Structure 1
Amino acid sequence: MLTQTTTRVLEPSELDAALAILESEPVENAFVTSRVQVAGLDPWRLGGEMWGWYADGRLRSLCYSGANLVPICATPEAVRGFADRARRTGRRCSSIVGPAEPTTQLWRLLEPSWGPAREIRAHQPLMVTEQVPAAVAPDPLVRRIRKAELDVIMPACVAMFTEEVGVSPLAGDGGLLYQARVAELVGAGRSFARIEDGRVIFKAEIGAATTRACQIQGVWVDPEFRGRGLSEAGMAAVVRYALADVAPVVSLYVNDYNTPARAAYRRVGFREVGAFMSVLF
């Protein structure tokens, strides 16, 4: 029996079908789900296209194609369909990121035409917690950033991004898109920091948020203050805020080679439940 398959850009009218797939894996898909819940499937509002893979007329898998290329609940057959489409359109993204297994397959298919990558992070543990930290006391000085403090938090955000990704977020457009994203998180009450004498000592953001799960990103401690446990106490504070105000599950993913960060997150109460992969261009 032959199975009819196709890959195409989703229409805005297919929002419910797309959300059903996204919400089947609320932690893994938190980043894309949060965007779709706000923007729908209109490419202009979403900041990219949502590709769908169909078998026998039914939507089975998704792939977000914007600044990132993200396979979502993607079967091996769907990944091949997404890779074919990505080859035809050419690379428009700055990274491929997603659950390790389909992302590995996707990159294997795209590398001959899209490679080489600037960096490959093949195993990034995905960690979650549903509990207020018991072993680490939250830092009482960590709080939400106010809108008037955007100029205070921005240098720390730029330093974190540059250290983590290897390039400055101010390159290209002068940082307009990055600054807009930081301002969006501040305005939404999802940017947190410990500030002393106008200096950011610790910071982190809840970068993605749905009613079922949220994702912490951008964790950073001023290099002068590292090794003092500030990241653990700071993360404990952010987790407490997240569980109280945002979602019942808090997640993050971390580079496997960052042993100190993984140990700190475990002490705060996070456990590993899977893995992501990132391909950076």
Structure 2
Amino acid sequence: MSLRFRQLQAFHAIVETGTVTGAAEQLGISQPGISNLLYQLERQTRLKLFERSKGRLIPTPEAGVLFQEVDTVVRGLDHVAQAVTDLQNKQAGQLQVASQHSMSFGFMPALIARFARTRPDLSISFQAQYSLKIQEWVISGLFEIGVCEMPLIHDGLEAHPINVETRLAIPADSPLAEHDVLTPELLEGVPFIVMGPEHMTHRRTREVFQQAGIPLKARVHSHLFKNLLSFVQEGMGVSILDPFVLDFEAGGGFISRPFRPRIMMEMAVITSKSRPLSAVGQEFLALLKQELAPYTAGRSSARS
């Protein structure tokens, strides 16, 4: 027996509304159309499905059994249709983003929350990790979009470069705050909180101090910008940090100043060359690039 879904849908609507008129309004088709679909269904099944009583259709016991089976199918297809509509309107789907740690404490959660505000059914996967791991995740398809530090070690990545100017974080009560711009000469003998020796900010800080003929006094080594800032807030020294951790730190206890010569960080927004982005991913990627634009070289030295 080959039953058409439209027949089952009409039957389902009649049971729910109790009338042909109600079913027609629910499905957006004519009353004769509903009556014809019901007639076809009863003829094919050889079952009497309704009794008429005072203008209403009363389901027979056979109709009650059939309705239990049909209900799951009809509601399931309704959910599929709504999911398609949501995806077309970019209201649903899955957003998969990974970023290096300094963005994960404020910048990225705020941006994702803003993006998701009008998408209540959006499923979100977000992780913070070291840059090499982020590249592996995007290559493998575990995440659609990543933000990492350079260099890229995989050929299969599409990269949108971001060159970010770092700033110097100093304790809030430091006498260094009287200077609008800080230099190696002004920082002679001042303890530094630094990343590991191979990190680009540490290497470049060493280089500018060497070029100025001034020793760099590294007092604390750590592995996350957030940790470095915590030591600054405790008054243990100063630190070269990217603007993401500085701009989204609400704890106070520090101020930041431009540092000269500039110390830059090369970063990139990455996607896979071999996997097309979902519609949701494309829209978020456009928003992410837009929000990162003010942090690019020459625009990130705001005084705080």
What TM-score range do you get, normalising by the shorter chain?
under 0.3
TM-score, reference length from structure 2: 0.21
Relative CO higher for 1 or 2, CA cutoff 8 Å, sep ≥ 6?
Answer: 1
Structure ID, larger Rg: 2
